[in-house]
Amino acid sequence: MKVSYFPGCTLKTKAKDLDLYARKSAEVLGITLEEIENWQCCGGVFTTAKDEVATKLSSVRVLKAAKDKDQALVTVCSACHNVVKQTNSAMQNDKEFADKVNRYMGEDGGYDGSTEVYHFLELIRDVVGFDKVKEKVVNPLNGEKIAAYYGCLLLRPGKVMQMDDPENPTIIEDLIRALGGEPVIYNQRNECCGGYVVMEDPALAESKSKKITSNARSFGAERMVTACPLCKYNLEKNGSDLPVVYFTELLAQALGVKEECK
Amino acid sequence: MSHGNNNLKEELLRISGVNPKKCMRCGKCSATCPAYDEMEYHPHQFVVMVEEGNIEPLLNSDSLYKCLTCFACVERCPRGVEPAKLVEAVRLVATRRQGANHLKPDDVPGKLDEDLPQQAIVSAFRKYTK
Ligand code: SF4
Ligand code: SF4
C-alpha cells in the first residue's frame, strides 16, 4: 500500500530517528511512505482562532497534495499530526474559513477537506493490524516494562483527533504488547510535559515533566515511549533519568531493522 | 469605554467561536489546568471576565504566555465551553498590537541548547509573536 507522508521539520533535523525508524518499519509492514514534494513546516502548533488563515496554508497544501494523488496522508510526529488533523477538520466544518483558504490557494486549486489523515500508529492499528505486526516480530521485547507517554497532541481535542479514548487510550499499549513488551499504565500518561512553554518558563516544563517521569517510574517502567520530539526533549531534559525513545525505535527494534537505520 | 469593550468582546467571541454563556462556573477547567499555579487568571476566569467585558486585565497578564495549549480544559469541560480557545483569542489580540511581540528573535539564541527540537522554536514563535 502506498500512502503520502508528511515528515515535518523536526524529523529532518533533531528527530531524524523518529523518521528513519518509521520508514524502515513501514517497509517491513508492506507500506510505502511517499514523501510529499516541497512540503513546508506545519508551524508546530494549531491556532484555534478562526481568523488565522495564512498560518494554516502549509497544512492545507500538504492535505491537497495527498488528495491529488488519491492517497491517505500519514504523519509520525504528534505535533504535525495535531496541526494537520485540526486544519483538515476546520476545512470540513467551518465554511467561512474554508472559503478564505480556497481564495488563497488561487491557481493551485481548492481543497475540500476529504483527505484521510492517519497517524502512523493508526495506520498500524487500522490498516496493518496489530496481529500482523506481531507475526513480523523477530526480536520480541521480552516483557520489558514500557510506559506509553501520549501527552496532549495525539489525543486532544478528542472529538477532532478521534484516535482513541482521550482519557483512557490503548493504542500504544496494544502496540507494546504486540512487540512482546509489558505496558505500564500510569496516571500521568496523557498529561502535558510543558510543551513549547519550555522556551518561556523552563521551571514550569521541569515540574510537569518530573511529575510524569516519576509517576511512570513508580509504576515500574524501565523505558518510556513517545511520538513527539518536544515531549522527548522535556522528559529527558527535565524529567528523571528514565530512558525515553520514539515508538518507531521500539518498532524497528522488534522488527529487527533497527541496526539498518544507523 | 463600554462600547470599546463590547467591540473587543464581540471580536474575541467571533474569532474563538466560544459561547461563555454555556459556562456553569464549575471550575473543572481550572482544576485540570497544568499551568494553574503559574497563572494569575485561570481558564474559568477567562470565560467569566470575557463575558463581563472585563478584558483589559487579561490582555496585560502573563497568564497568556503560561497556557500550554494542552487542550485539557477543552476536553474536560462538561459544558463544551472550550476555554483554551478564548485564552488563544485574547493572546492573539494582545500579540497583534504593534510592537507587542512577546518573544523577540534576539532572545532565541540565549534559550537554545543543542538538543532543543526545532518544533519548540516554531511553536513558541507562533504562540508568542505576530
Ligand atoms: S489549554 Fe491552556 S488553559 Fe487549558 S488546561 Fe491547558 S494550559 Fe490550561
Ligand atoms: S469547565 Fe467549562 S463549565 Fe466549568 S467553569 Fe470551566 S468553562 Fe465553565
Residues A14 and A57 in one domain: yes
Coil, helix or strand at residue B96: helix
Q: Which atom of ligand 2 is nearest to the CA of B73?
A: 1
pLDDT for B2:
47
Task: Give the bridge partners for A226, in sequence order.
Answer: A246
Q: Are residues A144 and A49 in the same domain?
A: no
- What distance separates the 2 farthest-apart alpha carbons in chain B? 50
**Residue B57's domain is classified under what CATH number?**
1.10.1060.10
> DSSP alpha helices (H): ranges in B63-102?
72-76, 83-96
Check whether residue A113 and residue A162 sit in a common domain: no
Residue where a domain stops, chosen among A66, A90, A120: A120
Domain tally, chain B = 2
Residue B44: all three cell numbers together: 474559568
Task: Give the position of cell 499551568.
Answer: B35
Residues of chain B contacting A229 with CB distance shorter than 8 Å: 117, 119
At A164 the pLDDT is 98
pLDDT at position B4 is: 54
**Chain centroid, CA B61 distance in Å:** 10
Domains of chain A: total: 2
Residue owning the nearest CA to atom 8 of ligand 2: B23
Q: A13 and A113 share a domain?
A: yes
- Domain boundary (A69, A86, A120) is at A120
Do B120 and B82 lie in one domain? The reply is: no
Q: Are residues B29 and B52 in the same domain?
A: yes
Based on the fold, state whether residues B30 and B76 are members of the same structural domain.
yes
| Per-residue pLDDT reduced to its tens digit, B20-62 | 999 999 999 999 999 999 999 999 999 999 999 999 999 999 9
Query: Residues B108, B47: one domain?
Result: no
Out of A44, A157, A236, name the one closest to residue B123 (CB): A44
Nearest by CB to A51, which of B15, B111, B122?
A: B15
For residue A34, give the 3-state DSSP assignment: strand
Bridge partner list, B45 = none
Pocket of ligand 1 (CB under 6 A): B 32-35, 43, 67-73, 83-84, 87
Residue-level pLDDT at B1: 43
Per residue in A196-214, pLDDT (tens digit) is 999 999 999 999 999 999 9
Pair (B87, B129) in one structural domain? no
Asked whether residue A134 is domain-assigned, the answer is no
Are residues B95 and B107 both part of a single domain? no
Do B116 and B82 share a structural domain?
no
Domain that holds residue A151: 139-255
Per-residue pLDDT 10s for chain A (262 aa) are 999 999 999 998 888 999 999 999 999 999 999 999 999 999 999 999 999 999 999 999 999 999 999 999 999 999 999 999 999 999 999 999 999 999 998 877 899 999 999 999 999 999 999 999 999 999 999 999 999 999 999 999 999 999 999 999 999 999 999 999 999 999 999 999 999 999 999 999 999 999 999 999 999 999 999 999 999 999 999 777 899 999 999 999 999 999 998 7
CB contact under 8 A, A230 and B74: no
In a domain, residue A126? The reply is: no
Q: What are phi and psi of B129, to 5 degrees?
A: -135, 170
pLDDT of residue B130: 82
B2-15 pLDDT tens trace: 445 789 999 999 99
Q: Which residue has the cell 533535523?
A: A13
Beta strand extents in A97-219 (DSSP E only)? 117-119, 145-148, 182-184
Assess whether A23 and A81 both reside in one domain: yes
pLDDT(B98) > 90: no
CATH number at residue A105: 1.20.1050.140
One-letter identity of residue A144: E
Asked whether residue A128 is domain-assigned, the answer is no
Residue corresponding to grid cell 477567562: B46
Q: Is B70 helix (H, G, I), strand (E, B) or coil?
A: coil
SS3 A108: helix
B94 plus B119 within the same structural domain: no
Same domain, A101 and A155: no
pLDDT: is B126 or A76 the higher one?
Answer: A76
Alpha-carbon gap, residue A250 to B1, rounded angstroms: 59
Residues A146 and A250 in one domain: yes
- What is the domain extent for residue B114? 103-130
pLDDT value of position A109: 84
With CA atoms as reference, report the closest residue to B118 among A233, A171, A186, A223. A233
Pairing of strands A223-226, A182-184: unpaired
Residues B46 and B30 placed together within one structural domain of the fold: yes
Q: Assess contact for A190 and A164: CB atoms under 8 A.
A: no
* B118/A199 Cβ within 8 A: no
The ipTM of this complex is: 0.93
Max distance between CA atoms of chain A, in angstroms, equals 56
**Judgement on whether residues B31 and B70 belong to the same structural domain of the protein:** yes
Cα A143 to Cα A131, A187, A222, A254, B9: the distances in Å are 17, 21, 11, 12, 55
